[in-house]
Amino acid sequence: MADLKLLYRELVSLEIELWNGIEGRLRAEYDLPLTSFEVLHLLLRRPGPRIQDIAEEFSITVGGTSKVVDRLESAGLCERRANPNDRRSSIVELTPEGRKLVDRAVKVFEDELELRIGSVIPEQSVREVTAVLSALRTAGRALDAERKTAG
């Protein structure tokens, strides 16, 4: 029988160590927390999301997302503008300064991923592990939705 508790501990420990390692380098080189990088990176990849879209992307609350965006906006890295499709929401966009920062930070992020994952396991294993983790996340979301519906 598979040791699910061991798998759980390994996954959680890996996530923490990976997060801390990447964040440590981003903070050292750009004074950029990984949470902020993740939002800036999303804005680079998918221009013009609403706060709600960002929250859904990262499975975090709208309030928490709004606070991150507030900090980034105060730092001049992004800005909100009126949503032409919905007056009740705004669109978040990178500023030129934010784009320059995230362009440089992406290189650090990718270097760390290569060092911590790519240089350790072969490309085929990366694809297989990614598929397994995606399946686990999908199943977990379905279970949560089922429980929410059941009350």
Q: What residue spans define the domains of the chain?
A: 4-120, 121-151
> Is 26's pLDDT higher than 80?
yes
**96, 151, 121, 122: which is closest to 14 by C-alpha?**
121
Pinpoint the alpha helices (H) of the chain. Answer: 4-30, 34-45, 51-58, 62-74, 96-113, 123-150
> Is 50's pLDDT higher than 90?
yes
Mean pLDDT along residues 59-82 = 95
> Is 136's pLDDT higher than 90?
yes
Greatest alpha-carbon pair distance for the chain in Å reads 55
> Is 123's pLDDT higher than 90?
yes
pLDDT of residue 124: 97
pLDDT of residue 23: 98
pLDDT of residue 93: 96
Please state, in angstroms and rounded to a whole number, the distance separating the CA atoms of residues 69 and 28: 21
- The residue type at 51: I
pLDDT of residue 92: 97
Contact in structure between 110 and 25 (CB atoms under 8 Å)? no
Give me the chain's average pLDDT, please: 95
Residues 6+ away with beta carbon under 8 Å from 37: 26, 102, 105, 109
DSSP SS3 for 117: helix
- Domain 4-120: which CATH number of 1.10.10.10, 2.60.120.10, 3.40.50.12280, 2.60.40.1180: 1.10.10.10
> Is 56's pLDDT higher than 80?
yes
Q: Which two tokens stand for residue 8?
A: 């759980």
Specify the pTM: 0.88
Task: Identify the H or E element spanning 93.
Answer: strand 90-94
Burial class (CB in 10 A: 0-12, 13-18, 19+), 22: buried
- The residue type at 29: E
Mean pLDDT along residues 3-10 = 96
Q: Which of 72-76, 135-139, 147-151 has the lowest mean pLDDT?
A: 147-151
